[in-house]
Amino acid sequence: MVSWKNFDELKTYSKLMELGDKVDLASAMAGENGAKRVAEYCVSMSGGLVYNYASKKVDDKVLSVLQELADEAQLTEKYAELFNGAMINTGEKRLVLHQLCRGQLGNAVVADGVDKRAFYTEQQAKIAEFAARVHSGEIANAAGEKFTTVVQIGIGGSDLGPRAMYIALENWAKKNNAFKMEAKFISNVDPDDAASVLASIDVAHSLFILVSKSGTTLETLTNESFVKDALKNAGLDASKHMIAVTSETSPLAKSSDYLAAFFMDDYIGGRYSSTSAVGGAVLSLAFGPEIFARFLDGAAAEDKLDTNADIRKNPALLDALIGVYERNVLGYEATAVLPYSQALSRFPAHLQQLDMESNGKSVNRFSQPVSYKTGPVIFGEPGTNGQHSFYQLLHQGTDIIPLQFVGFKQNQTECDVVIQGSTSQQKLCANVAAQIMAFACGKDDENPNKFFAGGRPSSIIVGDRLTPEALGAILAHFENKVMFQGFVWNLNSFDQEGVQLGKVLAKKVLAHETDGALKAYSDLLAI
Amino acid sequence: MVSWKNFDELKTYSKLMELGDKVDLASAMAGENGAKRVAEYCVSMSGGLVYNYASKKVDDKVLSVLQELADEAQLTEKYAELFNGAMINTGEKRLVLHQLCRGQLGNAVVADGVDKRAFYTEQQAKIAEFAARVHSGEIANAAGEKFTTVVQIGIGGSDLGPRAMYIALENWAKKNNAFKMEAKFISNVDPDDAASVLASIDVAHSLFILVSKSGTTLETLTNESFVKDALKNAGLDASKHMIAVTSETSPLAKSSDYLAAFFMDDYIGGRYSSTSAVGGAVLSLAFGPEIFARFLDGAAAEDKLDTNADIRKNPALLDALIGVYERNVLGYEATAVLPYSQALSRFPAHLQQLDMESNGKSVNRFSQPVSYKTGPVIFGEPGTNGQHSFYQLLHQGTDIIPLQFVGFKQNQTECDVVIQGSTSQQKLCANVAAQIMAFACGKDDENPNKFFAGGRPSSIIVGDRLTPEALGAILAHFENKVMFQGFVWNLNSFDQEGVQLGKVLAKKVLAHETDGALKAYSDLLAI
């Protein structure tokens, strides 16, 4: 039986605090010892990836205390509780089953009288069948022509993850004869978002996916109306151009407004829904169900690795624990995610939601206030772009920001050019290697303006190429990292009560039921 | 004569520190007092905008000390020094003249024997003439057909600002018959960036702008080769499809490889170059030179407002001082930029460079270490998208993150839809008003999971519509804010020594001149 305790109630908490800022990173990474660390501080992930943490401020002593923490906090036991169907989302009294969309790690999970693994695979099979019929032209527009574009209408988890995954695989799919349909995304309630996407597509050849678990998300329903108007204005029957991804109990589930409906349920949180029907419909339509299945396989293999109780063999657990050490012992308040891959350009925005919405909380899973820092700010842009932007602060600013690099040996398009004796891909990789060392070791200089203190920790995930399997592994890695950190901090990482108050007040503004400053702001904005 | 002192050497420094966390924001914003603050704590900007700071943790006492700080630190006098041509960029021994691209606030500035205002306006006139000839078809491709697409090749300041400005005005231009050519951007050395942009355009009808002040930026030259190969493979003469924006002394300036060259100089920092030829060429080609001129007018008017020594009448100065108070007195480490406008989707990425590269420093303008915090982390995404993502942490996380909202009464495309009695634009505006109040006042609840502490400060810039003038005003506002903060912290906000070390090490990697950990990382990445 697992025991849910606050982080600062654990015996290991004070032991960890006593470690303090123990490792002089610049020294540790200098000379042959540095090379040894790069070789040793490296864990295999699935999809041919490795997680290398040589440039983190850890040594064997720190790692041994982190292992004690993992053991005392029963982190892998809690993961097992989760995938075996315990009610981990205490606030909303729900199971947490996103891993079950891609594999089964433990017992059969039966909820609401249904085997949940069977339910998720059934939805995937239905989506696969539907996508095949769209691709073959069996499901076509009124003129009998094939659909060429798929447009996802959703916000938050129904947008950021699927969009980031689509961008991540678009060029790979084009190179590998797996590109079936272009995908676009409408998310914002700003009417210019829908208007500009609609202006960029041919609605007569477009299939729209309405994604809302509850079927009541205001932004999404508003944008649905926008789209329906556009279809109507083009003389088209909207119900022949739209499908829904929703829960079985939602008003959308059985509506004749849609060609088809595919289901998720309350046990899949929005930010964890990329491997459910939420990501499955758009990615299967864009790239084909086989590619989506490969993406799931990469995630499932990573989920399995992350069950290992040995932190040196469990990349997500180790990454989580190092992050806790950085946040609570070293006091760092933000983390930058820096993929050296243009394909991952929106991956930081997805991680920003995943991490900040899961662990940006001040109460524990029993709704009691905690007295330690929880989730950090997450931000990032692809390298090398970031090097020419905010890296100045990362190198020489007054705060230390831990860095998460991602890099691949080969590019997706397999197009490249040799300039000054090296390919662009080599330049890209050379830059990330150089940055890691610049951050870790710095550089002495008698001119303080050119002095780099170093001691700025980073880790890197390295793969051969960003394939569907590799992407699935990276996604699952971060989902599981966030989950483990939530366990350490004793949070419920699966609700989001912090988004409710704004919704309530916005309704009041629209109903003109305001006074005081809220009325004054409404007037300022001419509502 | 101005005196350059460290922040903590000023008399007002201790006075400011003694203020501490003085204002209980939730109380201040409650009831009619809150409405009064919204009315009073509001400054006019140019372009019909206002900067409203009612929900910042200031009161008349805090503002009076901030005024003392502005006076003692001679902030507007230093601005006057800058626009009158003093050598403000001490590290690189350069003038700082980006404001001179859009107007003249003081004396004529003569450098290198040239009247610099005349030089910048001459470049604008040349760009305008060139753009008109492209739009008319006088400058056309080898088949005599009009160019339809313009592709900017640049990185950092040659990419982020111009790209953000293009996205900001694209829909407005389409609605207002000012859309001349589609613009695309290639920045990353990742070969998949150039490959995918090239695959998305018709190179035969594309004009490429190579942007590099020095003419030696590795990423940009590499991507130029990529593009030249593509043009050659399409049987086209690259020199008839490319123009350059560079300095007069660069190797690109007089090359026959380009149809034309337009110039900036060493007095325009990359991140301050959106109103120079760097932004001018692409924006004049995309929207016409008249629209670019209107953008400059908005910026120039804002520059002028920002000369006012009264902080309550100088929005950039006030914003800067409140930011310093939040950073150095209240101890907040990050700031979120949250535009409620999809058109500003990349504006946070531009501000991230502008702010973090300018003020992310640990030495003062005389290269001496400082002992106070300088520039914060800047991140953000458009609302309402962010509400469904990282706002959870902003509302209920363990750190307080100050927020910068931007909103407009009307949308750009003038398309909208009424659902449940309100337009999408009204919903968008209602949400931003609601969020400000939710962050400021919070909500009591007996369930701590649904409790919002409030006390989370924000300001908002509000305009009628995002026009070229409004965009210019917003851009100049933040450029000047960052400048004033640099003055308070006694930094050189115009160099970026922190980007050098990585470049040096990357060259070593590519030359295989590495050992130790750098060699180990190079091997890991198969370079």
Among the listed residues A81, A224, A302, A357, the single catalytic one is A357
Residue A69 scores a pLDDT above 90: yes
Check residue A7 and give its pLDDT.
98
CA distance linking residue B397 with residue B391, whole number of Å: 9
CA distance linking residue B474 with residue B480, whole number of Å: 10
CA distance linking residue B26 with residue B24, whole number of Å: 6
Per residue in B505-522, pLDDT (tens digit) is 999 999 999 999 999 999
Classified by CATH at the fold level, domain A98-296 comes out as: Rossmann fold (3.40.50)
Residue B314: φ, ψ to 5° = -125, 95
Interchain proximity B54–A192, CB inside 8 Å:
no
B197, B449, B456, B464: best mutation site toward chain A, by most A Cβ within 10 Å? B449
Q: Which residues of B touch A508 (CB under 8 A)?
A: 434
Interchain proximity A499–B32, CB inside 8 Å:
no
CA distance A101 to chain B (A): 22
First to last CA, chain B: 54
* Average pLDDT over all residues of chain B: 97
Check residue A408 and give its pLDDT.
98
Residue A291 scores a pLDDT above 90: yes
Q: Which residues of B touch A506 (CB under 8 A)?
A: 427, 430-431, 433-435
Give the tokens for residue A398.
């007054």
Check residue B87 and give its pLDDT.
96
Give the chain B residue whose CA is nearest to the CA of A369. Answer: B448
CA distance linking residue A111 with residue A117, whole number of Å: 10
Per residue in B29-47, pLDDT (tens digit) is 999 999 999 999 999 999 9
Tell me the pairing of strands A206-211 and B242-247: unpaired
Residues of chain B with CATH 3.40.50.10490: 18-97+307-495, 106-294
Residue B73 carries which side chain, given as an amino acid letter? A
User: Packing angle between helix B468-489 and helix B347-359, nearest 10 degrees?
Assistant: 20
pLDDT category, B254, cuts 50, 70, 90? Answer: confident
Cis peptide before B121 (omega within 30 of 0): no
CA distance linking residue A201 with residue A359, whole number of Å: 38
C-alpha closest to that of A311 among A299, A326, A322, A300? A322
Per residue in A414-438, pLDDT (tens digit) is 999 999 999 999 999 999 999 999 9
Per residue in B402-434, pLDDT (tens digit) is 999 999 999 999 999 999 999 999 999 999 999
CA distance A108 to chain B (A): 31
Q: Which residues of A touch B421 (CB under 8 A)?
A: 510
Per residue in B191-238, pLDDT (tens digit) is 999 999 999 999 999 999 999 998 988 889 999 999 999 999 999 999
Q: Which residues pair with B261 in a beta bridge?
A: B244
CA distance linking residue A437 with residue B205, whole number of Å: 43
Enumerate helices (H) and strands (E) in chain A, giving the number of each: 18, 15
Tell me the pairing of strands A418-419 and A334-340: unpaired
CA distance B108 to chain A (A): 31
Length of chain B: 527
Q: Which residues of B touch A398 (CB under 8 A)?
A: 361-362, 370, 372-375
Check residue A153 and give its pLDDT.
98
CA distance B327 to chain A (A): 11
Give the tokens for residue B61.
């006492």
Q: Which residues pair with A407 in a beta bridge?
A: A340, A462
Let me know if A357 is a catalytic residue.
Answer: yes
CA distance linking residue A348 with residue A354, whole number of Å: 10
- Residues A218-232 have a mean pLDDT of 94
Check residue A93 and give its pLDDT.
95
CA distance linking residue A37 with residue A54, whole number of Å: 5
Per residue in A233-255, pLDDT (tens digit) is 999 999 999 999 999 999 899 88
As a whole-number percent, the residues of chain A with pLDDT over 70 amount to: 100
Strand, helix or coil at B198?
Answer: helix
The CATH number assigned to the domain with range B18-97+307-495 reads: 3.40.50.10490
Residue A74 scores a pLDDT above 90: yes
Q: Which residues of B touch A363 (CB under 8 A)?
A: 396, 448-449, 451
Those residues with Cβ within 8 angstroms of residue A177's Cβ, 6 or more apart along the chain or in another chain: none
Check residue B346 and give its pLDDT.
98
User: Packing angle between helix B516-524 and helix A424-441, nearest 10 degrees?
Assistant: 140
Per residue in B53-99, pLDDT (tens digit) is 999 999 999 999 999 999 999 999 999 999 999 999 999 999 999 99
Per residue in B120-143, pLDDT (tens digit) is 999 999 999 999 999 999 999 999
Nearest to A357 among B219, B392, B424 (CB): B392
- Classify the phi-psi angles of A197: left when phi > 0, otherwise alpha if psi is within -120 to 50, otherwise beta: alpha
Q: Which residues of A touch B378 (CB under 8 A)?
A: 390
Among the listed residues B81, B224, B302, B357, the single catalytic one is B357
Q: Taking a C-beta distance cutoff of 8 angstroms, is the pair B293, B280 a contact?
A: no
Nearest to A156 among B369, B389, B394 (CB): B389
C-alpha closest to that of B243 among B376, B104, B356, B150? B150
Check residue A218 and give its pLDDT.
87
Q: What is the dihedral of CA B417, B383, A348, B468, to 10 degrees?
A: 90
CA angle B486, B492, B498 (to 5 degrees): 110
Interchain proximity A438–B225, CB inside 8 Å:
no
Check residue A210 and give its pLDDT.
97
Q: Which residues of A touch B419 (CB under 8 A)?
A: 221-222, 225
In eight-state DSSP terms, residue B344 is G
CA distance linking residue B206 with residue A470, whole number of Å: 35
Q: Which residues pair with A246 in a beta bridge?
A: A263
CA distance linking residue B437 with residue B405, whole number of Å: 12
CATH superfamily membership of A7-97+298-496: Glucose-6-phosphate isomerase like protein; domain 1 (3.40.50.10490)
CA distance linking residue B72 with residue B243, whole number of Å: 47
DSSP labels for B121-156?
HHHHHHHHHHHHHHHHTSS--TTSPPP-EEEEE--G
Among the listed residues A32, A388, A446, A512, the single catalytic one is A388
Residues of chain A with CATH 3.40.50.10490: 7-97+298-496, 98-296
CA angle B211, B276, B255 (to 5 degrees): 40
Those residues with Cβ within 8 angstroms of residue B249's Cβ, 6 or more apart along the chain or in another chain: none
- Residues A114-121 have a mean pLDDT of 98
CA distance A519 to chain B (A): 7
Strand, helix or coil at B181?
Answer: coil
Give the chain B residue whose CA is nearest to the CA of A448. Answer: B367
- Residues A119-126 have a mean pLDDT of 98
Residue B353 carries which side chain, given as an amino acid letter? Q
Q: Taking a C-beta distance cutoff of 8 angstroms, is the pair A66, A325 a contact?
A: yes
In eight-state DSSP terms, residue B91 is T
Q: Which residues of B touch A356 (CB under 8 A)?
A: 389-390, 392-393, 397
DSSP labels for A84-145?
TT---BTTTTB---GGGGT---SS--EETTEEHHHHHHHHHHHHHHHHHHHHHTSS--TTSP
Strand, helix or coil at A471?
Answer: helix
Give the tokens for residue B462.
């509000």
Among the listed residues A32, A93, A446, A503, the single catalytic one is A503
Number of cross-chain residue pairs from A and B with Cβ atoms under 8 Å apart: 516
Let me know if A254 is a catalytic residue.
Answer: no
Residue A214: φ, ψ to 5° = -80, -20
Strand, helix or coil at A378?
Answer: strand
Q: Which residues pair with A419 in a beta bridge?
A: A422
First to last CA, chain A: 54
Check residue A1 and give its pLDDT.
83
Per residue in A502-518, pLDDT (tens digit) is 999 999 999 999 999 99
Check residue A301 and give its pLDDT.
98
Per the listing, tokens 């490249």 go with A416
Per residue in A153-210, pLDDT (tens digit) is 999 999 999 999 999 999 999 999 999 999 999 999 999 999 999 999 999 999 999 9
Check residue B428 and give its pLDDT.
97
Nearest to A505 among B434, B453, B501 (CB): B434
CA distance B24 to chain A (A): 15
Helix (H), strand (E), coil (C) string for A308-351: CCCHHHCHHHHHHHHHHHHHHHCCCCEEEEEEECHHHCCHHHHH
Give the tokens for residue A287.
């790239």
CA distance linking residue B500 with residue A400, whole number of Å: 18
Interchain proximity A34–B520, CB inside 8 Å:
yes
Check residue A146 and give its pLDDT.
98
Let me know if B381 is a catalytic residue.
Answer: no
Those residues with Cβ within 8 angstroms of residue A162's Cβ, 6 or more apart along the chain or in another chain: A152, A154, A185, A211, A274, A278, A279, A282, A283
User: Packing angle between helix B347-359 and helix B160-175, nearest 10 degrees?
Assistant: 150
Of 3.20.20.60, 3.50.30.30, 3.40.50.300, 3.40.50.10490, the CATH number of B106-294 is: 3.40.50.10490
CA distance linking residue B367 with residue B486, whole number of Å: 14
CA distance linking residue A464 with residue A410, whole number of Å: 6
CA distance linking residue A235 with residue A3, whole number of Å: 61
Q: Taking a C-beta distance cutoff of 8 angstroms, is the pair A193, A226 a contact?
A: no
- H or E element: which one contains A242? strand A242-247
Q: Taking a C-beta distance cutoff of 8 angstroms, is the pair A455, A400 a contact?
A: yes
Strand, helix or coil at B368?
Answer: coil
